[in-house]
A and B are shown apart, each in its own frame.
Chain A
Amino acid sequence: MKLELIQPFISAVDAVLADTMQCPITIHDLSMEDDAYRKKGVAALIAFKGAIEGRVILDMELSPIAKVASYLAGEDITLDDQITRETVSELANMVIGNAVTILNDRGSSFKVYPPELISEDQIKCNSVDTEATVLSFQTEHGNVYMNISLHYNRRRQRERSVVAVS
């Protein structure tokens, strides 16, 4: 996978988590996977269609979810199922939104779908030709994972090249 597709997500996670968790974030691990992804906590999937296609999964342990939930609520709160789901969806929206802003301003046009919470333990990689990059972010409140499987849509790129030449 092209680094230029991953970098905006690293920057977005760094900025959004640092804001909502009020602590420094470090990349603990980066690996490539072409098998099914086994989630570690509560995960939300966001699909991309257009000049960039694929999906990104934000996966969080409960402890960082609690920290973010309290920040968003403006007071200490106890997690229940609904708050947990809402927090992961909202955080996924913020991270992906920030990354999409960077990608879109670079000229790629694509649609991003609302986050879907993942109920299964394993998620298959949906692109035949794209392996996933798994980033593990370490914070003092626990780990956050991001699984990115994105690629440029070749047909769209060819169409753009033809238009550019003609």
Chain B
Amino acid sequence: MKQFEALLRKDNQPVRYLVVDDSVFARKSLAKMIEAFGGSVAGEAGDGLTAITEYGRTKPDIVLMDITMPQMEGIEAVERIVREHPEARIVMVSSVGYQDNILAALQKGARHFVQKPVKPDTLYEIIRYVLSDEGVTASV
């Protein structure tokens, strides 16, 4: 996979991600991209309920969240995470990208939306944008 200029936090540490998707394959694929962006996977979850617990445990810089999942869907998980952690930065990553769904996710507190199949360049730009007010910089 193409390597990107590393996205780093203000303290020069790699950006930490929580990856939430019921497909192990999708999680692996996103983890590869995160590695190419110079980040690290702080935690993984296969459903919305586990995502809430994992968010509290890992306190990631950003969450990549699927929508359609068993037990608890992504949009409800976003609402509950943002209610408890208003600073949470969550990007929805889903194959279902119709307007109602995107609007619902944004209204619940998600910061952006990426439609599957995910293109690494697109995801990189979105993460850079979403984290920009956190002082994320591309290292040289």
Contacts and interface: CB of A to CB of B under 8 A. Distances in A.
A55 to B, nearest CB: 16
Contacts of B23: 86, 89-90, 93
User: Chain A at the B interface: mostly helix, strand, loop or mixed?
Assistant: helix
A73 B29 contact: yes
Interface stretch (B7-15, B57-65, B89-97, B127-135): B89-97
Contact of B95 (A86, A87, A96): A96
Given A74-B32, A93-B95, A94-B95, A83 B100 contact: no
A94 B99 contact: no
A105 interface: yes
B83 interface: no
Contact of A98 (B25, B95, B99, B100): B95
B85 interface: no
A101 interface: yes
Interface in A62-90: 69, 72-75, 83, 86-87, 89-90
Interface residues of A, number: 25
A94 B25 contact: no
B140 interface: no
B29 A16 contact: no
B120 to A, nearest CB: 9
Interface of B: 1, 22-26, 28-29, 32-33, 68, 70, 94-101, 115-117, 119
- Closest A-B pairs by Cβ, 7 of them: A97-B95, A104-B98, A74-B32, A86-B25, A97-B96, A94-B95, A101-B98
12 contacts: A16-B117, A69-B25, A72-B25, A72-B28, A83-B25, A95-B95, A96-B95, A97-B97, A100-B96, A101-B115, A104-B100, A114-B22
Given A72-B26, A96-B95, A101-B96, 16 more contacts: A16-B117, A19-B117, A73-B29, A74-B33, A90-B25, A97-B94, A97-B95, A97-B96, A98-B95, A100-B96, A101-B98, A101-B115, A104-B98, A104-B100, A114-B68, A114-B70
